[in-house]
Structure 1
Amino acid sequence: MKKIYYLFSVVFAWFSTSMLYAQEKTADVLAHFSSEVPVHWAVPTNEGRLDLEWRPRQNSLSQEGFRSFVAYHEGVFSGSISLSSNSFSGEIWHEGHTYFLTDEKGLFRVSPSQGATSCATCQEGDCDIHPSSQVLRRGTILAETSLPSEDKRVLYNVHVMRTFRLAMLIDYSFYKGHCQGRMELAKAFMVDVQTKLNEVCGRELGYQFELVDDPRLIRDTKGKEVYPDKPLVRTVVNTATDTFNKLIGEENYDAGIVFSVYKDNRGLAHLGEITGKLKGGCVANEEFYIILHELGHLLGSAHTFTIGGATASSFTEPDRGNSIMSYINDPYGTYFSLPSIYTIHNRTNLHDAYYADKARTQLVGLAQPNIPYGEPSDNKAPMIDR
C-alpha cells in the first residue's frame, strides 16, 4: 500500500494558556489527508511535535465527503481526525495529555484539554446510575454482579461483528461552543467520535457503530435547544431517551449519546440499558475518554477499580485501575479489560440474536430487545505453538 509522508516544521503562536495555533493553514491540513492512503503527519503539542501515522477508516458520512483517519504512535492507538472539504475535527493523546484538533478562521488550532479525563467526570464515584426496577427486563444481569470464579466459557463470543445505530444529540450550547456554530464542524465531530469508537470497540468487543444521520439531532438554533441553562447531567440522562424517542422515533436507533454544556461538566450513563428501555441514557462532553467510559456503562460494564468511589465496581484492577472503565486518568487507557468484555458480551449477545440484513428483517437467534445488525466472521482465536 502506498504511503505518503508529511513531516513539517511548525512555529507556535500562543493566543492563550489553553489554546495554540500552528502556523499551518486549514487548506494545507486538508491537503495532507486528500487521499485515502496512510500518511505521516507531525502534530504540534506542548511537548513538541508528535509524529503520528494516520490510517484511513470508513465512516457513515463518506457520501457527504467526510474522510476519517486514526492515529498511531509507536503502534499504539493515539487519536483520530475527520475532515470535510472545508473543516476538520480531531483529538489525539500522548503521555497523559489530550489535545483537540480543529480549524478556526482558516488556521489549524490545537487545544489542550483543561480537565481531568476521568475523576472530574465521575465526581464522588457517581458516573453510572441504575434504572428503576420498573424498567428492568426480567432476567437482566446487572454489570456489578460478581464475576464467576470458574467459567469454562470465559468470554462469550459467537464470531459475529455487531453494528449498533448510534444517535448523537448535538444540543445548541455544544453546537455554538465546541462546534463554533458550524454545521460542517458538528458533523465532523460526530464522524470523528464514530471513528474512535469503532477503532476501540471493533478491536475489543466486536462491535461497530453507524451514525444515525438525521438533521433533527443537530440543534443549530437557540429555539431548538433541548437543554438550556446548563442543566445537571443527572437531569439530562433521566430525560435523554424520551428526547431521542420524540425526535427520531424509538425504532430508529440502538444507542444514544447527548452532547451539551452542563453545570457539572461530567459524564453519566444508565448501566446496561443498551438492551433496555433507556438506551438513550448516555451523557458526555467532547473528550473521547469520557465518551467511551460512559458508553461502556450503557453497554453493561461497571467500574473496574479497587479504590475510586462508592459506586458499582467489579474490583478487578488494583488501586484506581488501568482500563477505560477505571479512574486511571490517562488517555492511553482506551481499552476494555477482560472482566468488562465479559459483562458486556453477556448482556448484548443474549440469545445470540442479530439481524442478518441491514434492513433488520431477518432475525438470527431468539428475540431480545434492541437487536443489532450482525455480520458473521470466520476469525479464529490464535493458537499457542507449544
Structure 2
Amino acid sequence: MAVRFFHTSDWHLGQFFHNHDRDYEHTQFLNWLLAQIQQKQPNALLIAGDIFDVVNPASSAQKQLYQFLTDAHAIAPHMQTLMIAGNHDSGYRIEQVEPFLAKFNAKAVGIIGKQDGEFDLDRLLVPIYDADKNIVAWCLTLPYLRSAEITGLNENTTNSQNAIAYLHQQLIAEAKARKQPNQALILMSHAHMQGGETSDSERPIVIGNEEALSTALFDDVIDYVALGHLHKPQKVGQEHIRYSGSPIPLSFSERNYKHQVVEVTIDPEADEQNHCQYQAHIIPRTVDLIRIRGPLSELITTVHALPKGEIDNLNARHFLEIEYTTDAPPPVDLRQQIELALPPNRYRLLRIARIYQKATEQNDESHKVDLAPPTPEKLFLSLWEKMGYEQDESVKRDFLTLLEAAQHDLDQKAH
C-alpha cells in the first residue's frame, strides 16, 4: 500500500527579523500549504522540528500553529500531522497540549523519554494510517537529541556518540519488528548531518562535542529520512535522505534558496525505480529580501532605480539591506539620502553597513561594520581572542556544549 506525505520543517513561527515580525509571511505560507493539502489529501504532514523560533513562543505564534491544525483537519480529516521538537523548541511545551492535538489528528514528540531503564521506543514509533485505518507506514520520530536526555541510561549510553548510535539501532530494530511487507518506514529527525550546507541563521547544534552526524546511522531498511535543522532544501548523500528546508528565508544568506515542501510517495510493493517518488512544491515568495552592495559613489543612483509601486500592508513590504564600500568617510546624512531616494512605501530598510575597500578586494567580510547584537557564540569567541588566546575548535565545541546544557536547564524550569 502506498503512502503519500508532505515533508516540511523549520517554520520558526514567531521569528523577529531586525525587529520586524514575520507573521504575515508565515500566514501566507500556511494558507498556501492548506491549499496543497486540500488538493493532494496526503496521509500525513511531517514537521521536522523548529516549529517555533524560541522555546517560549508568543501567543500569536502558538495561535498560528493551532489555527493551522484546526483548518488542516477540517479539509483533510484523515491526514495525520506529526511534529518533532527542534533545537529552537521546548520539547516539553509542544507535548503539553497533547489532548488538544489528538482532536485534530496531530501528534508532537518533544522528548525521547525513558521507561524501565531503556529508551521509550513505543512513544517514538508512530503509525501512519490510510483512510480505511490500515497502517501504511511507521514514522520513527527523533526530536533534537540533548545530551542530558540520552546519556547515562546504561553501558551503551556512557557518552553522546554511543547514545546516539544506540538509540538509532534500538529504534530501527523495533521498527523492523513491527513493519509488515506492505508498510513503509520513515525516519524524521532534527539534526545536522555531515555534508549538509548551512546558512548563517541556524543555531549550531552540538551534542557531546560532535556537531554533524553521519548518515551511516540510517539503516538501508529506512525508505525515507525527513530531516530538519538546515534551512536549504537539499539531499544528503542519497536521494531519500533530505532536508526540506525552511518555508521562508530567515536571513539574507537564504534569499536565493528555493524554499519548498517535499511531497513523497512510497510504495513498498513497487519495483526499485518506482519505490519512492519525490515532488518539490516551490513555496511562493511573498516578501523579498533585497541586498544592494557596491561603491558609495553609485549607491544613491542604485537605490533610486529600485522597482517602484506602493505596498499598502507594511508587513508585506520587502526587506532591504545595503552594504557599501568607500575609502573616504561617508556623509553624515547618508541614511537620510538613502531614505529620500527609496521608492515610497515599498521597502523596509533594515541595515546600512560599510565594508572597507581592502576587505572587498580580499573577499573578506571580517571588516564589515555591523551593529547587530552578537550571538553568545560570537561574543565568547570575541572575548577569547581579546584575552590573547588562539582560536581553538575544541574550546568552541566545549562552550557550545555548555550553552546547549544551559538551554536544556531553562527548558526544564519552564516546564
Fold equivalence (TM over 0.5): no
Instruction: Please give the range of the TM-score, normalised by the shorter of the 2 chains.
Output: under 0.3
Larger radius of gyration between Structure 1 and Structure 2: 2
TM (norm. structure 1) is 0.26
